[in-house]
Structure 1
Amino acid sequence: MKLYLMRHGEAEPYQQNDSGRALTSTGRGSVASKARLIPAVDVMYVSPYLRALQSADILVDQGVSVKHRIVDDRVTPDCNLEPIIDELLRPDEPVQLIVAHNPLLSRLTRHLAGEEARGVNLATAQVACLEADEFLPGCATLLWVK
């Protein structure tokens, strides 16, 4: 199975309503340039925050084929990792993509890939690709971060 983790593009400065922050033009361009890194996916989980929703829309507009798109509250910035690992990362969906935020995505990468991902801290619009027979703590291989 493959798991792609994409942090949303650059967003407007922090406001009182963090979930409503939109992408900047730079953020939109950065996300569009990364679409080529992501193949067709079986399921895309997207944070309900505006900047993640916009990033997911851009990926699809740029040609990323998605069978199922699910907006999910379990992939917001400070969520627990256990529900993601236990409930979202399923073996019947061999290629999955999560479009969300830090610190969540960097923590998830380090948790799944263990020591080889120790220093990973995804920047805006960065994508990590992991591979595993089953996504359990320390059992994934970090293939790349771009």
Structure 2
Amino acid sequence: MQLYLMRHGEAGHEARYDRERSLTETGFHHTALMSEWLKSSGVKFQLVLVSPYVRAQQTWQEVSSHFPTPRKSKVLDELVPAADPEMAARLVLAYAEQYQAENVLVISHMPLLGYMVSELVPGIEPPLFATSSVAMVDIIGHHSELMWQQTAHSIS
């Protein structure tokens, strides 16, 4: 299975609550750039799991406009910034197995994404995720490896 972990696009700060922050124009632009870069690799997602926060939902809306509709997409409260990374990683793997998904996209937040990588790839330090960036973890049986991490800034 190939697990694509994506941080939401850049968000503004003009919201009463953190969960209500919206993407900026730059956030939409960088998300579109990353989406096109991913699309050019030929990947098609069978399963997409997204945080319920507005900026993650908007990121998914932008990404989804560049790809065929996945077999299943779900909003998960376990993908918020302060979620338990071990639980989030186990949940993502369980959904991937349930839906027999070979390519899974998760759209979430820091610090959760960095800690999820550490949960999935033992011995690795939690990587930082710039907004709109994506990391790909390849999981074969009980072996997993962080294959690459890409930022929108490096492809723009």
Show the 5 A alignment for 1:38-77. Answer: 39-63=43-67, 65-77=69-81
Size of the aligned set, in residue pairs, is 142
SS of the aligned residue for 2:121 comes to helix
Deviations 1:83-116 (Å, cap 9, x if unpaired)? 323333133222111001010011111221233x
Corresponding position: 1:101 with 2:122: no
Q: What is the rounded CA distance, in whole Å, between the counterparts of 2:33 and 2:144 in structure 1?
A: 26
CA contact (8 A) 2:7 2:110 kept: yes
Structure 2: 5+ residue runs without aligned partners?
151-156
Amino acid at match of 2:145: T
Give the alignment's TM-score, normalised by structure 2.
0.83
| SS of corresponding position for 2:105 | strand
Deviation at 1:65, TM superposition (A): 4.1
Which of these residues, 83, 87, 99, is aligned with residue 87 of structure 2?
Answer: 83
SS at 2:55 equivalent: helix
Q: 1:72 to 1:119 in 2, by over 3 A?
A: closer
Instruction: Indicate whether 1:131 and 2:131 are aligned.
Output: no
| Seq. identity, % | 30
Q: 2:154 maps to what in 1? A: none
Structure 2 CA distance, aligned partners of 1:64 and 1:126? 20
Whether the 8 Å CA contact 2:21–2:54 is kept in 1: the answer is: yes
In the alignment, structure 1 residue 13 sits paired with structure 2 residue 21: no
Distance 1:118 1:27 in 2: 26
The runs of 5 or more residues in structure 1 that have no matched partner are none
Q: Distance in 2 between matches of 1:88 and 1:130?
A: 12
Distance 1:85 1:106 in 2: 11
Q: Which moved more, 1:19-28 or 1:102-111?
A: 102-111
Amino acid at match of 1:112: L
2:153 is matched with which residue?
none
Query: Hey, what's the Cα distance between the residues in 2 that align with 1:119 and 1:86?
Result: 17
AA aligned opposite 1:29: H
Q: With the length of structure 1 as denominator, give the TM-score of the two structures.
A: 0.88
- Where 2:117 maps in the other structure, the secondary structure is helix
Structure 1 segments (4+ residues) deviating >3 Å: none
List per-residue Cα deviations over 1:4-27 (Å, max 9, x = no partner).
000000000264311110000000
